Amino acid sequence: MMTINVAVLLAVIVAMRLRRRTQARSRFEERGTAFLVLTLGVLIAPTPLGQAIFNGIAQLVRGVSQAGS
């Protein structure tokens, strides 16, 4: 039996939608893509991968803020 991870499916859909040219998108399509990306973020956030991404971004922000001061 094969299972499909919803986060992986959403990542594929988002990647396919973002490959299109920006000029060809309607406002409705942009809102739909933003909703899909937000949903993908909510699904990935509690996973170990999501935590690793969060920690990496937090370190990057700390480094940039320390370099600026």
Q: What is the mean pLDDT of residues 56-69?
A: 82
Query: Is the pLDDT confidence value at 51 over 80?
Result: yes
Question: Is residue 1 included in any domain, yes or no?
Answer: no
Number of structural domains found in the chain: 1
> Cα-Cα-Cα-Cα dihedral of 50, 54, 56, 62, to 10°?
180
What is the extent of the structural domain holding 30? 6-19+26-68
pTM over 0.75: no
Amino acid at 6: V
Query: Is the pLDDT confidence value at 59 over 70?
Result: yes
Query: Tens digits of per-residue pLDDT, 6-23?
Result: 778 888 888 888 787 766
